[in-house]
Chains A and B, each alone.
Chain A
Amino acid sequence: MTYLTKPHLHHPTLTRNKVGYTRRDYEGKISTLCAGCGHDSISAAIIQACWELDIEPHRVAKMSGIGCSSKTPDYFLGASHGFNTVHGRMPSVLTGANLANRDLLYLGISGDGDSASIGLGQFANAMRRGVRMAYIVENNGVYGLTKGQFSATADRGSKSKKGVINKESAVDLVGIALQLGATYVGRSFSGDKEQLVPLIKGALGHGGAAFIDVISPCVTFNNHSGSTKSYDYVREHNEAVNRIDFMVTHSEITTSYAPGEVTDVPQHDGSMLRLRKLHADYDPTDRLAAMNYMNERHSFGEVLTGLLYVDSHASDLHSALNTSRIPLNALGVKELTPGSAVLEKINAGLR
């Protein structure tokens, strides 16, 4: 880690976005993670994405569990709301917050231990319920914070730093998310910001449960030759199925592509994701086909990345439950305590 606060001086040309902030305004405290940790690159990608989206920092709630990955919300969006919850419990705390105030943008940050080991149930149910959020797992295959034990996403046959072989099969978070109904599913690599930043932007603009599995090497415990989550391994096996070229409103699209080369996917906020295909036969709007394709490619040892699945007609928990349009903290006493007559009516309906 570094002991200094990051200098306030910045590049002379640093520009302000539409809401008046520079990219540096989206930073948080200086990171205390190990030098070279992939998680820090993901933080940088989140900072870049929020700046590019002209997000007002106070409109974001960042939630996390426990782990090196879950510490990172302290290192970005210093002016946003945050809740560093209990190990594996980020999804339920976030769900509660989301139900209380649907006007905020929810960013859930977790680790592979946090989401695939202790928090697997929480993760699965948040996907199932369609909680509107950008759920990012910073996946390094180990419990970084507790000194590098294998996590549930470690591939069978991969080796620990000490040389121990992992005999258990891996939890495939992307597969589970797809199966349980997440409506925006992506995978990326901390070392590829060109891919990661647009993926995060798309997730933040998505109208339902958006999940991104970001492979993020743990330089200290899992960046050796027997690892399948090292910088070298991921670079060698990375296969991007597509690239999000940009995200704009329809009228702004100017670049032209040959037919079949791109897919335009409308987002709920009126913006458009333009996907440039890298695998011609991959269709990210067909859930079943996507799952099959992924399984097949996985068996060849490929790590598929890109926007793997997107449903542009996504809906979320609020519409399913028909909840109040207005955040609870903005309702008046009259709405929140409608009186004994209303209570009577509800009770009667339950008898």
Chain B
Amino acid sequence: MRPTDTSNPDYFHRVVDCQWACPAHTPVPEYIRMIGQGRYADAYMVNWVSNVFPGILGRTCDRPCEPACRRGRVEENNGQKAEPVAICRLKRVAADMKGDVKARMPTIVPFNGKRVACVGAGPASLTVARDLAPLGYEVTVFDGEAKAGGFIRSQIPRFRLPESVIDEETGYIFDLGVKFRHGERVDSMRELLTRHYDAVFVGCGAPRGRNLDIPGRQEAAENIHIGIDWLASVSFGHITEIAPRVIVLGGGNTAMDCCRSARRLGGSDVKVIVRSGFDEMKASPWEKEDAQHEGIPILNFHVPLRFEHESGKLTGMSFDVVKAEYDKNGKRTLVSTGQPEVFVACDVVLIAVGQENAFPWIEVETGIAFDHWGLPVLNEHSFQSTRPEVFFGGDSAFGPKNIITAVAHGHGAAISIDRFLNKQDVNQRPAPHVTISSQKMGIHEWSYDNAISDDHRFKVPWAKAETALANIRVEVELGFDAATAFKEANRCLNCDVQTVFTRETCIECDACVDICPVDSITFTTNGDEGDLRKRLKAPTLNLAQSLYVSAELKTGKIMVKDEDVCLHCGLCAERCPTGAWDMRKFLLITSQAGNARLGGKVKEPA
């Protein structure tokens, strides 16, 4: 292999599993350390810069960072008890304990002469607004609803996310001088384009719930609801109760929110019924757990056949029981088991079988093209549509995803809009800001806490079931207290503190090899990657993590480090007699509109 090029920002970034996995590339270990030091406001601001909604995301994020977290690969009995750091819930700690951060927010700057319209006040649009307003753009956000937040406000139930948190974090954006035209739905893109906006961002989400058109649907319509519409009505207080026996169809996160909401509004016999197997359900594992924890059974492998009714009054549903069969390519089909139909009695059905995009308000003659799935034709990096001054992001861009993806799109689109309005090429994407700095303070002292905690993941305490189920506005999770947050923060391995190897000073004494608790380091003769991976001190399990390879050393061998399960404990650097290993903090902040940096390289300190 050729010596590793660590000046490419991606190299060390990939080692920081959580940050790499986060769509907005939040510098996770950086803020976790701050939480450990009690610097909650600092931790909040690190988050706020990257993901705009730390308090909201600290409760609701889909947390792609957690399955990626290295801790989940290295704990005892790996794979069985191993658990990632509670990254998401630590974010909430920062938000809950930060105190007043208003003074840390950007200030309003003079108008730069350019106007931007955002359609929809969901997280994607609000991110665009947050990034552009401090640069002097006049940003106007339109939404048909009375309050900002998009699905965050209308869909996510209050027992997971109190409204005060939404008010606070959307408020910081409007404090930047962003104009909010609430209650104003945009009904015509053609007309919007005639107003004097220099660019338009479409962040209207994927607002249409998929229907289930099977026999009985029309006749029993009165007691059958589309999940996301029903949740919105619950959020806005139009619906405050439900009949006792409820079936929720679907296996995604919407289904989980529907069933748990129904439990709180009078549903005493609530069931989730899903076509697929339990394990293939789209809902996150923790959401399924939470639902089951509240006494909601999940019936899997049941394909809906009919809504049953007595002269228009819903009585229940019939299902075919299926099993999964896989063909040679691993493609799954659900085939009937031939068992008799199953009838499940109920009073109400909530259909939560997916969402669709809908753009009835964007006219063909605007020149904005859509593909055959009804999604806008976009450049996937710049979010630019076929009409140059119109950009898309969030669920409206590539179909329903989640909040953090919407935020990441918002940042990307804001960069594009800023470049576009400055007559720069939107296809040229800026590189991240990266710094790398030694953490060495004394002979064996580092400016990060390199001791490895043996603690297992701490559980977030819950409100008592009786109180939580009695009122839909009672938040279920109580959040970590400061002492538990400290311990949970200590579980983080500081994967951003990189092991940096200097070939010139290595004397090949093997001290690092001997001390490494996870057998990461090998000195051996060079070969191609596949060959090297077979000759390391410990087997390589994870091809997604790189091998760090030096140029040839004095004896003709090379140093190879498998980055996969390195604990970043710094012992290799402590045991190295010549300082050939050093622990250096790699801080990567993605470029945002106004501070974009092109063609960046990681600079090693001299």
For B452, list chain A residues within 8 Å (CB). Answer: 7-9
Q: What is the bound-complex CA distance between A6 and B510, given in angstroms?
A: 17
B511-A35 in contact (CB<8A): yes
Secondary structure type dominating chain A contacts: loop
A13-B454 in contact (CB<8A): no
**A102 in the interface (beta carbon within 8 A):** no
Residues of chain B in range 235-280 having any CB-CB distance to chain A below 8 Å: none
B513: nearest chain-A partner, CB-CB: A44
For A34, list chain B residues within 8 Å (CB). Answer: 577
Contact of B515 among A6, A231, A235 (CB under 8 A): A6
**A331 in the interface (beta carbon within 8 A):** no
Contact of A41 among B73, B74, B509, B565 (CB under 8 A): B509
Contact of B577 among A12, A31, A219 (CB under 8 A): A219
Contact of A40 among B451, B514, B538, B578 (CB under 8 A): B514
For A11, list chain B residues within 8 Å (CB). Answer: 518-519, 538, 565
Q: What is the bound-complex CA distance between A33 and B78, given in angstroms?
A: 32
Q: What is the bound-complex CA distance between A191 and B511, given in angstroms?
A: 9
Q: What is the bound-complex CA distance between A35 and B514, given in angstroms?
A: 11
**A108 in the interface (beta carbon within 8 A):** no
**A193 in the interface (beta carbon within 8 A):** yes
For B78, list chain A residues within 8 Å (CB). Answer: 12
**B76 in the interface (beta carbon within 8 A):** yes
**Extra 20 A-B pairs, beta carbons < 8 Å, given A4-B451, A41-B509:** A2-B444, A4-B571, A4-B574, A6-B517, A9-B74, A9-B75, A9-B517, A10-B517, A10-B518, A12-B79, A24-B517, A35-B575, A35-B576, A36-B575, A37-B511, A38-B509, A41-B510, A191-B508, A193-B510, A219-B577
B509-A219 in contact (CB<8A): yes
B519-A36 in contact (CB<8A): no
Chain B: minimal CB distance from A140 (Å) = 12
Q: What is the bound-complex CA distance between A232 and B452, given in angstroms?
A: 35
For B576, list chain A residues within 8 Å (CB). Answer: 35-36
Chain B 391-405 interface 0/1 with A at a Cβ cutoff of 8 Å (1 = within): 000000000000000
**B555 in the interface (beta carbon within 8 A):** yes
Contact of B555 among A35, A44, A235 (CB under 8 A): A235
**B569 in the interface (beta carbon within 8 A):** yes
Q: What is the bound-complex CA distance between A11 and B73, given in angstroms?
A: 9
Chain A: minimal CB distance from B75 (Å) = 7
**B345 in the interface (beta carbon within 8 A):** no
Chain B: minimal CB distance from A60 (Å) = 20
Q: What is the bound-complex CA distance between A37 and B509, given in angstroms?
A: 8
Q: What is the bound-complex CA distance between A223 and B451, given in angstroms?
A: 31
List of 10 A-B pairs having minimum Cβ-Cβ separation, nearest first: A36-B577, A7-B452, A12-B78, A44-B514, A11-B538, A36-B509, A35-B577, A7-B517, A219-B577, A2-B574
Chain B 493-532 interface 0/1 with A at a Cβ cutoff of 8 Å (1 = within): 0000000000000011111011101110000000000000
Among A4, A9, A31, A223, chain B packs the most CB atoms within 10 A around the CB of A9
**B541 in the interface (beta carbon within 8 A):** yes
Q: What is the bound-complex CA distance between A43 and B567, given in angstroms?
A: 22
Among A7, A193, A235, chain B packs the most CB atoms within 10 A around the CB of A7
**A1 in the interface (beta carbon within 8 A):** yes
Contact of B510 among A12, A14, A191 (CB under 8 A): A191
**B315 in the interface (beta carbon within 8 A):** no
**B539 in the interface (beta carbon within 8 A):** yes
B74-A12 in contact (CB<8A): yes
For A10, list chain B residues within 8 Å (CB). Answer: 517-519
**B450 in the interface (beta carbon within 8 A):** yes
For A2, list chain B residues within 8 Å (CB). Answer: 444, 515, 571, 574-575
A40-B518 in contact (CB<8A): no
Chain A: minimal CB distance from B313 (Å) = 57
Chain A 185-224 interface 0/1 with B at a Cβ cutoff of 8 Å (1 = within): 0000011010000000000000000000000010100010
Q: What is the bound-complex CA distance between A8 and B539, given in angstroms?
A: 19
Q: What is the bound-complex CA distance between A231 and B451, given in angstroms?
A: 31
B507-A1 in contact (CB<8A): no
Chain B: minimal CB distance from A52 (Å) = 14
Secondary structure type dominating chain B contacts: loop
B519: nearest chain-A partner, CB-CB: A11
Chain A: minimal CB distance from B570 (Å) = 8
Q: What is the bound-complex CA distance between A8 and B509, given in angstroms?
A: 24
Chain B: minimal CB distance from A117 (Å) = 25
**A257 in the interface (beta carbon within 8 A):** no
Chain B: minimal CB distance from A129 (Å) = 34
Q: What is the bound-complex CA distance between A193 and B513, given in angstroms?
A: 11
Chain B: minimal CB distance from A2 (Å) = 5
Chain A: minimal CB distance from B218 (Å) = 55
Residues of chain A in range 237-274 having any CB-CB distance to chain B below 8 Å: none
For A4, list chain B residues within 8 Å (CB). Answer: 450-451, 569, 571, 574
**A3 in the interface (beta carbon within 8 A):** yes
B569: nearest chain-A partner, CB-CB: A7
A36-B511 in contact (CB<8A): yes
B577-A9 in contact (CB<8A): no
Chain A: minimal CB distance from B503 (Å) = 15
B444-A3 in contact (CB<8A): yes
For B450, list chain A residues within 8 Å (CB). Answer: 4
For A7, list chain B residues within 8 Å (CB). Answer: 451-452, 517, 567, 569, 571
Q: What is the bound-complex CA distance between A3 and B441, given in angstroms?
A: 14
B508-A13 in contact (CB<8A): no
A191-B509 in contact (CB<8A): yes
Known: A4-B569, A191-B508, A231-B508. A41 touches B575 (CB 8 A): no
B541-A6 in contact (CB<8A): no
Chain B 316-351 interface 0/1 with A at a Cβ cutoff of 8 Å (1 = within): 000000000000000000000000000000000000
For B517, list chain A residues within 8 Å (CB). Answer: 6-10, 24
For B555, list chain A residues within 8 Å (CB). Answer: 235
Q: What is the bound-complex CA distance between A232 and B519, given in angstroms?
A: 25
Contact of A1 among B79, B444, B567 (CB under 8 A): B444
Known: A6-B515, A7-B517. A12 touches B73 (CB 8 A): yes
Chain A 19-43 interface 0/1 with B at a Cβ cutoff of 8 Å (1 = within): 0000010000001001111101101
A231: nearest chain-B partner, CB-CB: B507
Can you offer 23 A-B residue contacts whose CB atoms are under 8 A? A2-B515, A2-B571, A2-B575, A3-B444, A6-B517, A6-B571, A9-B75, A9-B76, A9-B452, A9-B454, A11-B518, A13-B539, A14-B538, A34-B577, A35-B574, A35-B576, A35-B577, A36-B575, A36-B578, A43-B514, A191-B510, A232-B507, A235-B555
Chain B 573-606 interface 0/1 with A at a Cβ cutoff of 8 Å (1 = within): 0111110000000000000000000000000000
Q: What is the bound-complex CA distance between A8 and B76, given in angstroms?
A: 8
Q: What is the bound-complex CA distance between A5 and B450, given in angstroms?
A: 11
A231-B567 in contact (CB<8A): no
Among B510, B513, B515, B571, chain A packs the most CB atoms within 10 A around the CB of B510
Q: What is the bound-complex CA distance between A232 and B569, given in angstroms?
A: 29
Chain A: minimal CB distance from B497 (Å) = 14
A44: nearest chain-B partner, CB-CB: B514
For A223, list chain B residues within 8 Å (CB). Answer: 507
A235: nearest chain-B partner, CB-CB: B555
Chain B 377-421 interface 0/1 with A at a Cβ cutoff of 8 Å (1 = within): 000000000000000000000000000000000000000000000
Chain A: minimal CB distance from B492 (Å) = 13
For B73, list chain A residues within 8 Å (CB). Answer: 12
Q: What is the bound-complex CA distance between A263 and B509, given in angstroms?
A: 31
